[in-house]
């Protein structure tokens, strides 16, 4: 019986390995956020995942390697998921509005990883730190570029695209400091409000209608 008949398709070995790695990264992020990176060892991470230490070392050679994987979820991952929105059809304000939508939804999904990445970045090896910083700088540059395009088209009225990009990203990333799903505000309402605040109020566009960003 195949997938069309309703039977579950067995996971490949590679898919099982990726799933286990993702489970380890998610559990480690929660543990780092609760206890602090320095206070956590591989044994605590293995316990949080529910595996033996030997199994954990099969996927990651060290605790720092796990922290690096956590940081990738909030640097490389948004580059891969969100930046294509800036390459889509539409005006600069439409494309930036779509990115704001996608950025906030990704940030909400990866809130714990984002918090860990902010507080524990110094624990990465120099090579890993350089790579993570590179992903962040590239994301910032792409946001700056779309703001520059909006300034040239007359949609945005800010005087400095670089400063505006920093301000926009700081505002968006601040969501992780206060938004919780159990509070009164709905995520869709927050996203809509942020799109208006960024594209219209901060950058000066006449409106912020945009295509809906894909939702994970």
- Which has the minimum average pLDDT: 12-16, 77-81, 152-156? 12-16
For 72-202, give the CATH class: mainly alpha
Residue 153 has pLDDT above 80, yes or no: yes
CATH architecture of 7-61: Orthogonal Bundle (1.10)
Closest C-alpha among 67, 22, 83 to residue 49: 22
Domains of the chain, by residue range, sit at 7-61, 72-202
- Alpha-carbon span 175 to 118, nearest angstrom: 13
Structure confidence by residue, pLDDT tens digits, 52-75: 888 899 999 999 999 999 999 999
What pLDDT is attached to residue 182?
A: 72
**Does the structure show a pLDDT above 90 at 206?**
no
Cβ 74 vs Cβ 114: under 8 Å: yes
Mean pLDDT of 23-47: 96
Does the pLDDT of residue 216 top 50, yes or no? no
Residue 165: per-residue pLDDT? 98
- Give the H/E segment covering residue 196: none
Q: Provide the H-helix boundaries in the chain.
A: 13-35, 42-49, 53-59, 63-72, 76-82, 92-109, 111-120, 126-153, 161-173, 175-178, 187-195
**What are phi and psi for residue 136, nearest 5 degrees?**
-65, -45
Averaged pLDDT, 22-30:
96
Q: What is the pLDDT of residues 115-140, one digit of tens each?
A: 999 999 999 999 999 999 999 999 99
């Amino acid at each position: 019986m195949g997938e069309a008949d309703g039977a579950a398709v067995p996971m490949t070995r590679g898919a099982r390995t990726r799933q286990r790695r993702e489970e380890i990264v998610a559990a480690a992020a929660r543990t780092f956020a609760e206890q602090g990176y320095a206070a956590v060892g591989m044994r605590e991470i293995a316990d949080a995942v529910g595996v033996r230490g030997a199994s954990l070392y099969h996927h990651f050679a060290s605790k720092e390697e796990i922290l690096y994987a956590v940081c990738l979820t909030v640097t490389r991952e948004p580059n891969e998921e969100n930046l294509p929105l800036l390459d889509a059809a539409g005006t600069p304000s439409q494309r930036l509005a779509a990115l704001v939508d996608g950025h906030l939804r990704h940030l909400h999904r990866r809130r714990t990883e984002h918090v860990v990445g902010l507080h524990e970045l110094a624990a990465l090896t120099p090579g890993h730190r350089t790579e993570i910083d590179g992903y962040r700088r590239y994301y910032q540059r792409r946001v700056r570029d779309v703001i520059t395009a909006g300034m040239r088209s007359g949609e945005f009225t800010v005087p400095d695209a670089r400063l505006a990009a920093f301000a926009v990203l700081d505002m968006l990333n601040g969501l992780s400091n206060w938004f919780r799903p159990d509070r009164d505000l709905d995520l869709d309402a927050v996203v809509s409000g942020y799109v208006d605040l960024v594209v219209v109020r901060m950058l000066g566009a006449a409106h912020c209608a945009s295509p809906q960003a894909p939702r994970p």
